[in-house]
């Protein structure tokens, strides 16, 4: 993966089809123990938002590669006291080998990338969540053997996960359907970008969950109010109820369809307990694959061998 060495990954659109496929194949080999890569590097985690899977999976992946991790909690570093991001970026550039950032504004991530020479990885912004989708694609590949031609339906809020799912699915030749209530559709610029890069596949945004789910191979959902929007959650429940991933909608999908959720889940809201714990759920495999996909990404960007 020399092509990725030293590169930033701020969006899935920063990667091409071959690079994503190579990452997925490397992740599968790492997961299966077919290869063992090492790199004596230091990863910094600068997270302005809460995290369980991203923080732990990045940390474990880096430790397993033989590297080290420094948790740069904004509450205990100078960024929490107002140090300009450009100053922080230039200083961390002198200490670290790679930096994963979880923040609100995509522009803050881009600012870091402009002022730091080390690779910057998007560990989630309000606009995108590329590392999550690498794990999702790995999970789909494990279940169907290939990605091209499969159909993925996302139900719920047109958020960062929906954005990255559109981009990743389009690049890999998957059909992607985004079903949201009116007024909660994904960013139109991301929709157009996904359509432009689609590899002979469809990118559909609809307000009809039944049309979106019919015959789909993968059903995917996320919380109805993202981090930072928790105060809106209760008011959204009646609006989003028709988009709940439940047994009725699952019955309309392909009989061999799998269920994904990026977690954390609000059981009984965006997904029923029965579907989440049912035989078609691959949610726990998906969560595990965060570590394998990110290990492949770290190894590739850092040039592990």
State the catalytic residue, choosing from 132, 141, 244, 294.
132
Closest CA to 151 of 246, 209, 247, 215: 215
State the catalytic residue, choosing from 53, 129, 236, 292.
129
What are the backbone angles phi and psi of residue 235, rounded to the nearest 5°? -70, -20
State the catalytic residue, choosing from 177, 236, 290, 292.
290
- Give yes or no: 131 in active site: no
State the catalytic residue, choosing from 21, 39, 102, 177.
102
- Confirm if 154 and 178 have CB atoms less than 8 A apart: yes
State the catalytic residue, choosing from 131, 222, 261, 294.
222
Tokens representing 116 are 């730091």
Q: How many CB atoms lie within 10 A of CB 184?
A: 17
Distance (Å, rounded) from C-alpha 127 to C-alpha 104? 8
The residues, ordered by sequence, that sit 6+ positions from 194 with a Cβ below 8 Å of its Cβ are: 166, 167, 169, 170, 176, 203
Alpha-carbon distance values, 279 to 138, 258, 284 (Å)? 19, 9, 12
- Give yes or no: 222 in active site: yes
- Give yes or no: 102 in active site: yes
State the catalytic residue, choosing from 39, 53, 97, 262.
262
- For 128-153, b/e burial (b = at least 16 CB within 10 A) is bbbbbbbbbbbbbbbbbeebeebbbb
- Give yes or no: 129 in active site: yes
Residues acting as catalytic residues:
102, 129, 132, 222, 262, 290
């Amino acid at each position: 993966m020399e092509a990725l060495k030293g590169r930033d990954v701020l969006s899935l659109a920063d990667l091409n089809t071959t690079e994503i496929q190579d990452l997925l194949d490397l992740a599968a080999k790492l997961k299966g123990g077919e290869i063992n890569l090492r790199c004596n590097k230091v990863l910094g985690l600068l997270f302005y938002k809460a995290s369980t899977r991203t923080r732990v999976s990045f940390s474990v992946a880096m430790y397993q590669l033989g590297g080290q991790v420094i948790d740069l909690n904004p509450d205990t570093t100078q960024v929490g006291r107002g140090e300009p991001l450009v100053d922080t970026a230039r200083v961390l550039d002198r200490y670290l080998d790679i930096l994963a950032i979880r923040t609100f504004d995509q522009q803050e991530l881009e600012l870091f990338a402009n002022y730091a020479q080390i690779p910057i990885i998007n560990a989630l912004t309000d606009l995108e969540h590329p590392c999550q989708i690498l794990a999702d694609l790995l999970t789909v590949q494990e279940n169907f053997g290939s990605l091209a031609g499969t159909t993925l339906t996302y139900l719920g809020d047109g958020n960062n996960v929906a954005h990255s799912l559109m981009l990743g699915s389009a690049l890999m030749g998957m059909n992607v359907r985004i079903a949201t209530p009116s007024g909660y559709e994904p960013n139109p610029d991301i929709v157009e970008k996904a359509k432009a890069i689609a590899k002979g596949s469809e990118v559909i945004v609809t307000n009809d969950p039944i049309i979106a789910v019919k015959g789909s191979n993968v059903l995917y959902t996320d919380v109805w109010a993202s981090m930072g929007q928790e105060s809106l959650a209760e008011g959204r429940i009646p609006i989003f109820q028709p988009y709940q991933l439940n047994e009725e909608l699952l019955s309309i999908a392909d009989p061999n369809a799998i269920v994904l959720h990026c977690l954390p889940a609000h059981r009984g809201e965006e997904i029923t307990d029965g579907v989440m714990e049912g035989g078609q759920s691959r949610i726990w495999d998906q969560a595990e694959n965060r570590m394998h996909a990110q290990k492949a990404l770290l190894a590739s960007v850092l040039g592990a061998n």
